[in-house]
Amino acid sequence: MNKINIRPYRTEDRTALRTLCCDVADRGGPIENFFPDREVAEDLLTKYYTDYEPQSTFVAECDGRVVGYINGCMDNRSYGLVMFWLLMPALLIKAFKRGIFFRSEIHQILRGSLKNWRRIFVWRKKSFHSHQGHLHIGIAGDFRGQQVGRSLVGALVVHALGKGITELAASVHDANKAAGAFFESQGFVVRERYPMILIRDGKEEHYHSLLYVKTI
């Protein structure tokens, strides 16, 4: 196996990072398992990190290929403001133009989101409305279990310490046992558990969103 290099994100990684993020978004599987429009999902999941705070993202590269990423945010409150006032309105317009509101899968997702209103509007405020940080991480399937995730968390922790951050959080679906075990191995502990509903193939999936936090 060739050397895997952990380095800061560069603008030219943007397309590869967006693709990888959607390839692993469903607990390691592709976003299409529950969301029908990849381009909208790419914006929703990555645009804040690549376009508004790129200095807090790190990638793992092997032979010129981006095989892992960690998207970081060093101020949850700024993230919330940018998402709510800038990115979400633009995304709604884009989604509308792409006709996704006419798709039945989206109606299901919107119905699920309405049922999750407490998580989105009440609990999110409590958990993410701070000046601390959070992260999202994803490793390509053929590069998991090779300490890439550990190295990316290490790089982000060093960066966060330099910014005066004392807490990093990550949200994990409780069925994602690999991610739970990974975060626990990196010193994260579950601080909150929020009941959630995801509608998949017309059926309600009840689960908990676990808020993992690491004090650094």
In angstroms, what is the minimal distance from the CB of 141 to ligand COA?
A: 8
Check residue 176 for interaction with ligand COA (CB under 6 A): yes
Pick one of 62, 67, 137, 157: the residue that binds ligand COA (CB under 6 A): 137
Of 175, 176, 181, 171, nearest to 145 (Cα)?
Answer: 181
Q: Is 19 in the site for ligand COA (CB under 6 A)?
A: no
Asked whether position 145 contacts ligand COA by CB under 6 A, the answer is yes
How is 77-137 classified by DSSP, letter by letter? HHHHHHIIIIIHHHHHHHHHHTTGGGSHHHHHHHHHHHHTHIIIIIIHHHHH-SSSEEEEE
- The footprint of ligand COA on this chain (CB under 6 A) covers a number of residues equal to 22
- Which has the closest alpha carbon to 135: 56, 61, 54, 210? 56
146 Cβ contact partners less than 8 Å away, ≥ 6 residues apart: 1, 4
**What is the pattern of x (binds ligand COA, CB under 6 A) and - over residues 47-86?**
----------------------------------------
Contact call for residue 144 and ligand COA (CB under 6 A): yes
Least distance CB 25 / ligand COA (angstroms): 8
